[in-house]
Amino acid sequence: MFTTFVGKTEMRNIKNMNMKTRCFFLAVALSLTGSAAFAQQSEEGAQVQVKDQDAEVGRVSISPYAVLTYSPYSTHTDVGYFSNSTEKNLQFGAGIEGEYRFQANAGVSLGVIYSLEGISVDETFTSGGGLIGYSNHRITHEYVMKRLHVPAMLCVHPMVNGRLSLKVGIQVDFLLNGGSKGLDNFNTFGVTLPVGFSLRFGESFQVDARYNIGLTEINKNSNGNGSHSYFSLGLGMLL
> At which of 13, 32, 54 does a domain end?
54
d(CA 189, CA 210): 20
Range of the domain at 1: 1-54
> Is residue 5 classed as helix, strand or coil in its secondary structure?
helix
Q: Mark whether 37 and 138 lie in a shared domain.
A: no
Q: Mark whether 141 and 23 lie in a shared domain.
A: no
Q: Mark whether 41 and 102 lie in a shared domain.
A: no
Q: Mark whether 10 and 87 lie in a shared domain.
A: no
Q: Mark whether 106 and 16 lie in a shared domain.
A: no
Q: Mark whether 4 and 93 lie in a shared domain.
A: no
Cβ 134 vs Cβ 128: under 8 Å = yes
Q: Mark whether 89 and 205 lie in a shared domain.
A: yes
The pLDDT profile of the chain, 239 residues, written as one tens digit per residue, is 444 444 555 455 445 555 666 666 666 666 666 665 555 555 555 454 555 556 678 889 999 999 999 877 644 444 444 445 566 778 899 999 999 999 989 999 999 999 988 877 666 666 666 666 566 766 777 778 899 999 999 999 998 888 899 999 999 999 999 878 778 878 899 999 999 999 998 888 999 999 999 888 877 766 655 677 889 999 999 88
Q: Mark whether 84 and 167 lie in a shared domain.
A: yes
Cβ 106 vs Cβ 155: under 8 Å = yes
Residue type, 87: E
CA distances, 131 to each of 105, 134, 210 (Å): 73, 9, 54
E-only strand ranges, 7-105: 60-70, 81-83, 90-103
Here the CATH number for the domain that contains residue 206 is: 2.40.160.20
pLDDT at 144: 85
Q: How many domains does the chain have?
A: 2
Angle at 148 (CA atoms; ends 192, 191), nearest 5 degrees? 20
Q: Mark whether 12 and 130 lie in a shared domain.
A: no
pLDDT at 24: 63
The candidate with the shortest Cα–Cα distance to 223, out of 41, 44, 81, is: 81
> Is residue 25 classed as helix, strand or coil in its secondary structure?
helix
